[in-house]
Amino acid sequence: MRAAEEKEGWRLFPSKEVGRITKWVLLSALIGVLGGLAAGAFKLLIEIAREIAFQRPTGIAGEGVGVLHGRSWLLPLIPAAGGLVTGWLVQRFAPEAEGHGTDSVIRAFHRLRGVVRKRVIALKALSSAITIGTGGSAGQEGPVAQVGGGVGSAIASALELSDRDRRIFLLSGSTAGIGAMFCAPLGGALFMPEVLYEKPEFEGEVIIPCIISSIVAYTTFSAVSGVHRAVEIAPEVQATLRFDQPVELVIYLVLGVLCAAVGWVHVKLFWGLGKVFARLRKVPRFLRPALGGLALGLLALAIAPAAGEFGVLFGGYELMGAAISGSLFASVAVPGILLLLAAKILATALTISSGGSGGVFAPSLAIGGLLGAAVGHAAAALFPALHISPACYALVGMGGFFAGVAKVPIASVILVSEMTGTYALLAPLMLVSVVHMLFSRRWTLYQAQVPSQVDSPAHAGDFVVDVLETIKVADVIGDARMPRLVNEDVTLRGAMRIVADSHETHFPVVDDEEQLVGIFTLSDLRRIFLEEGVGDFVIVRDFMREQVVTVRMDDNLDAVQRKMTRHNITAVPVVDDANPRRVIALFERNSLGRAYGQKLKELRSANELDEGAESTP
């Protein structure tokens, strides 16, 4: 299956394997450099848009409105204007730039052969910068993933690489953007290979190129921007981030369950609101993001009296930092925290589900951070003897929440640890992530995900080969039958009598000692059976094929299938291992299908038995 896709291997290398590895290293590094530069440019574009379009007109510098003043009435209008511009750009030039970006990359990998249109690279960056810069509750992860993926796809297409390689470099580019933007080279390298599937699976083939591109992108981004950590934590707070009391696992377990409950609300509202906007058929599609922006601005104004300087605008990094440092709880009462949590969920849905352009990663981390901090402060009040640090719960909430809603338990744990600069909370992070995953199997923020590799069109045919490779001819020889052997000296007339009395299409030809010397088919007979007067003069040896494709008992069915396909035949003689000229059976293509179906049935039955055993108390 893969052989046809390998034909492009770079000829200037002495071997195919060396060429493939060198290609991965060189192109992944190049994509990493470009991805790092793209992430830096995108971040600068957002800052410019935010400064010009939002901060100057409104006088608001943070994510919250703070104290209402004379220019506060502009707040609903600016996100609405940003939504209007974004909607027009996206619907006019590239509809696939709508939404949160990562879903588009996942879809391109599974269903579009890794192809991303070149115009999407610039358009996604511009539209997302406008959405986020005008106050939209959206993150940078999705856009930078799509921009980086577009770079990788474009390079692969320009070099006329195979679909397989284009998919690899699509993910490599997406990884470069994420690893750079969030200063998380390892987490970024694991994110895209993991987020493709609903189940805890990795696209293992792309790990190495993704690691290379992520490292290079992070290094490039840090060099040009001077940023080395996505979320800065004060040293005094960093010192409190620890896990040394096993009893706290019970509290973290409760946090995991709450993450699942809030995650369900987040996902259902996100996609449910998208359906509501889709039903507004009388409203042109390009106007819907403007409605979402208007509603977002009104929401930000409505919660301002309770939330103070904190709010739901932009990606949510200030909320994360405040939740970890504790400054949020120092200035906002518990009802205000819960209001912020609910409002951030609604704000994200209004921004992106309406058709805006931005990511869901940062808002989801903010939601998880708020939830975790609330649980941490509640636990500290209930159990003062434990000396609980709410900052730990905020950080664990960030990673655990996103792990479940995005189905990335491993990448989420590493990403959050790298973003915040500490691995001290790995154990509770893993616990909360796994608990959330167990409760959230039925919903996800990324609708383009498929359950597993078996369900991905990108792997169509791979698993057929895997199954057939485990079956040998000897395992299914009962489905084969002993063919009608024809002596080489039989006349054409005699051969036609044999064919007329048989239901077969292939006839091995043997000598007097029944040793294989050739084969003929019905097609071979058709060439001469209308010739008059030759029935008793032409013998089988005259029209048989001397080159016979055969298989042995130890051959696996994948090898048999390849032989049949290569030679365009539907049946092959099975010969004795000890005597390759003695025919013992005739194996037909139909037997392949029956053997494959039977093997799948056995695998499913075994799987059902295993699941039944696991569910038995």
Determine what percent of the chain is predicted with pLDDT higher than 90: 43
Read off φ and ψ for residue 154, nearest 5 degrees: -65, -40
Assigned token pair, 451: 């359950």
Q: What is the pLDDT of residue 9?
A: 43
| Mean of pLDDT values over 374-391 | 92
* One domain for residues 326 and 391: yes
* One domain for residues 393 and 423: yes
* One domain for residues 398 and 511: no
Write down the pTM of the prediction: 0.76
Q: What is the pLDDT of residue 7?
A: 42
| Mean of pLDDT values over 189-199 | 91
Sign of torsion, CA 436 270 113 452?
A: positive
Q: What is the pLDDT of residue 160?
A: 86
- CA gap 215, 147 in Å, rounded: 17
| Mean of pLDDT values over 489-493 | 86
| Mean of pLDDT values over 91-106 | 84
* One domain for residues 170 and 287: yes
Question: 617 versus 566: which is more confidently predicted?
Answer: 566
Among the listed residues 396, 412, 326, the one whose alpha carbon sits nearest the alpha carbon of residue 361: 412
Q: What is the pLDDT of residue 11?
A: 46
> Which CATH number fits the domain that encloses residue 593?
3.10.580.10
Per residue in 325-339, pLDDT (tens digit) is 888 887 887 788 889
Among the listed residues 541, 193, 505, 187, the one whose alpha carbon sits nearest the alpha carbon of residue 365: 187
Question: 463 versus 589: which is more confidently predicted?
Answer: 589
Q: What is the pLDDT of residue 613?
A: 47
Total domains present in the chain: 2
Residue 608 lies in a domain: no
* Final residue in a domain of this structure, among 405, 428, 459: 459
* Final residue in a domain of this structure, among 459, 478, 495: 459
DSSP string, 7-32: GG--TTSSSHHHHHHHHHHHHHHHHH
Assigned token pair, 262: 């809030």
Question: 597 versus 378: which is more confidently predicted?
Answer: 378
Averaged pLDDT of the chain:
85
Q: What is the pLDDT of residue 133?
A: 93
| Mean of pLDDT values over 588-613 | 65
Assigned token pair, 22: 């060198």
Lowest model confidence (mean pLDDT) among 14-28, 368-382, 583-597? 14-28
CA 440, 445, 448, 449: dihedral to nearest 10 degrees?
-30
* One domain for residues 449 and 467: no
Using CA atoms, how far residue 582 sits from 475, 514, 575, in Å, is 19, 7, 5
| Mean of pLDDT values over 456-460 | 72
* One domain for residues 165 and 238: yes
Q: What is the pLDDT of residue 611?
A: 44
| Mean of pLDDT values over 418-432 | 90
* One domain for residues 423 and 515: no
- CA 402, distance to chain mean position in Å, is 15
Q: Are the beta carbons of 63 and 135 closer than 8 angstroms? A: no
Determine what percent of the chain is predicted with pLDDT higher than 70: 90
Amino acid at residue number 530: L
Question: 406 versus 591: which is more confidently predicted?
Answer: 406
Q: Which strand ranges, in their side-by-side order, compose the sheet holding 506-510?
A: 486-487, 506-510, 516-521
SS3 472: strand
Per residue in 23-77, pLDDT (tens digit) is 778 899 999 999 999 999 999 999 999 999 999 998 888 888 876 766 778 889 9
Q: What is the pLDDT of residue 220?
A: 95
Residue 376 lies in a domain: yes
* One domain for residues 22 and 147: yes
Question: 556 versus 211: which is more confidently predicted?
Answer: 211
Give the Cβ contact number of residue 317 at 10 Å: 19
Residue 602 lies in a domain: no
Instruction: Output b/e per residue, 345-356; b: 16+ Cβ within 10 A.
Output: bbbbbbbbbbbb
Residue 590 lies in a domain: yes
Residue 7 lies in a domain: yes
* One domain for residues 243 and 308: yes
Q: Sorting pLDDT into bands at 50, 70 and 90, what band is 529?
A: low
Residue 33 lies in a domain: yes
Q: Sorting pLDDT into bands at 50, 70 and 90, what band is 178?
A: very high
| 2 pLDDT more than 50 | no
* One domain for residues 390 and 489: no
Q: Sorting pLDDT into bands at 50, 70 and 90, what band is 524?
A: confident
> Which CATH number fits the domain that encloses residue 449?
1.10.3080.10
Per residue in 241-286, pLDDT (tens digit) is 889 899 999 999 999 999 999 999 999 999 999 999 989 988 999 9
* One domain for residues 118 and 168: yes
* Final residue in a domain of this structure, among 459, 480, 500: 459
- CA gap 173, 153 in Å, rounded: 8
Give the Cβ contact number of residue 264 at 10 Å: 16
Residue 615 lies in a domain: no
* One domain for residues 21 and 132: yes
Per residue in 572-588, pLDDT (tens digit) is 899 988 888 899 888 88
Q: What is the pLDDT of residue 300?
A: 93
Q: What is the pLDDT of residue 614?
A: 42
Q: What is the pLDDT of residue 464?
A: 55
Question: 492 versus 617: which is more confidently predicted?
Answer: 492
DSSP string, 227-285: ---SS---HHHHTT-----TTHHHHHHHHHHHHHHHHHHHHHHHHHHHHHHHT-TTS-G
Residue 75 lies in a domain: yes
| Mean of pLDDT values over 5-18 | 46
Residue 497's domain comprises 463-597
